[in-house]
Amino acid sequence: MSPVLVVPVLFASALSIGPMAAAQPHHETETQQVVAVLEQVGAAQTDDDIAAVRQQEGATLLTDPDTGHVVAAVSGRSALGRTVNPIGPGCSTSSLCMRTSSNVPYGYSGTGTRTGTRKSIAENRAGDRRSRFEWVGGSMTLLAGQTNFFDHPVTMSKISR
């Protein structure tokens, strides 16, 4: 049995899927593309990441129908208020962004602080505002628009902006 995908209309239109009509000829192919993206994001998400995204309106979930466990979640809307929340899939030009050594992007919007383990980070970017990054063994602050590359991957433990 294949995973169940819940796609709100707002997120679906952002992915150019359009209404979920049975008569839509490319629906299955486009749904498979969305599932593939969610599977890529979910491969690196922790249960805490998924729980944080599920608290937001407009979340898109990928669920294993055999277990009922949500295995991936992305937000189709920007975070509101003073909280740093994952966006996805990927990063935007304004988001704080971290990219793994296998090129998986983790984007965050909003302001505040977020703790948690993000392994194998090879690149980090501030986005549209000053951002602080802390990892096992060090920390740095990047100004808006700045990008940093690590000469070997690090395990990020805290971000703030």
Contacts of 135 (CB under 8 A, 6+ apart): 121, 154, 155, 156, 157
Q: Does residue 69 sit in the same domain as residue 135?
A: no
Quick one: pLDDT band at residue 30, thresholds 50, 70, 90? low
Q: Does residue 138 sit in the same domain as residue 64?
A: no
Q: Does residue 95 sit in the same domain as residue 39?
A: no
Q: In the predicted model, what is the mean pLDDT of residues 29-56?
A: 73
Last residue of a domain, one of 77, 109, 138: 77
More confident residue, 134 or 89: 134
CA-closest candidate to residue 142, choices 127, 155, 122, 157: 127
pLDDT, averaged across the chain: 76
pTM across the whole model:
0.52
Lowest-confidence range among 5-9, 55-59, 67-71, 153-157?
A: 5-9
Q: Does residue 19 sit in the same domain as residue 6?
A: yes
Q: Does residue 4 sit in the same domain as residue 21?
A: yes
The CATH number assigned to the domain holding 102 equals: 2.60.20.30
Last residue of a domain, one of 46, 77, 108: 77
Query: pLDDT tens digits for 115-148?
Result: 889 999 999 999 999 999 999 899 999 999 999 9
Report the DSSP beta bridge partners of residue 86.
Answer: 108
Here the tokens at position 22 are: 């049975």
Q: Where in the sequence is the domain holding 161, given as residue range(s)?
A: 78-161
Which pLDDT score, from 0 to 100, does residue 1 have?
A: 46
Q: Does residue 96 sit in the same domain as residue 51?
A: no
DSSP per-residue letters across 20-44? --TT-TTHHHHHHHHHHHHHHHHTT
Q: Does residue 92 sit in the same domain as residue 57?
A: no
Quick one: pLDDT band at residue 28, thresholds 50, 70, 90? low
In the chain, alpha helices (H)? 9-14, 27-42, 47-54
Alpha carbon separation from 42 to 38, 113, 130, 146, 147 (Å, rounded): 6, 22, 28, 27, 25
The total domain count for the chain is 2
